[in-house]
């Protein structure tokens, strides 16, 4: 099927997911490019701003040709981070820390997401738990991760749901 079907071949080559001992790696073997999709990244930021819990404030962003990262914090120092990569012309890889983590998969509005929960309390003096919800939209060629540090899953899932619903209709 891979060799005979153009659709299967293109979608398979656009990204690969590899499970490693230390994490889950997303490979993007596209052409390297300096292009970013600033308009789409800006749209993502506006959706997130509307859906973060009310006690969180937008504190910073980091944008370069490969990735856009948006950071939100509350008074307690808890953090929500959204990472966006436009895959249309990206070559590289991203590894999600899934070592010794609880990993589940769920479908939200037709989009499969990977939910990773990890408790770092045992390895640091500072208690820290982390939720990461990660997905790739093959149709629109993007990868997104929504991360919550010391944040409940119930606080980050509305952000994920709104992003998926809004971006699939864009």
pLDDT tens figures, 9-67 = 344 434 444 554 545 554 445 544 444 467 889 999 999 999 999 999 999 999 887 78
Which residues are bridge partners to 5 per DSSP? none
Q: Encoding tokens for residue 74?
A: 């509350």
- Strand intervals (E) in 3-56: 16-19, 24-29
pLDDT of residue 13: 39
pTM given for the model: 0.78
- Which of 117, 102, 98, 113 is closest to 145 using CA atoms? 113
pLDDT of residue 72: 98
Provide the 3-class DSSP secondary structure of residue 104.
strand
pLDDT tens figures, 70-90 = 999 999 999 999 999 888 766
Per the CB < 8 A criterion, the answer to whether 108 and 160 are in contact is: yes
């Amino acid at each position: 099927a891979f060799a005979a079907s153009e659709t299967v071949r293109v979608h398979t080559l656009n990204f690969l997911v590899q499970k490693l001992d230390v994490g889950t790696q997303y490979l993007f073997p596209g052409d390297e490019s300096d292009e970013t999709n600033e308009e789409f990244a800006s749209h993502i930021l506006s959706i997130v701003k509307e859906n973060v819990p009310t006690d969180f404030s937008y504190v910073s962003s980091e944008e370069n040709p490969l990735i856009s990262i948006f950071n939100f914090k509350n008074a307690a120092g808890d953090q929500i981070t959204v990472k966006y990569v436009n895959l249309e012309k990206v070559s590289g890889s991203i590894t999600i820390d899934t070592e010794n983590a609880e990993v589940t998969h769920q479908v939200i509005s037709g989009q499969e997401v990977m939910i990773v929960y990890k408790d770092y309390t045992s390895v640091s003096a500072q208690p820290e738990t982390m939720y990461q919800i990660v997905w790739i939209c093959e149709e629109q060629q993007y990868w997104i991760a929504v991360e919550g540090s010391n944040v409940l899953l119930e606080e980050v899932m509305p952000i994920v749901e709104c992003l998926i619903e809004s971006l699939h209709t864009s």
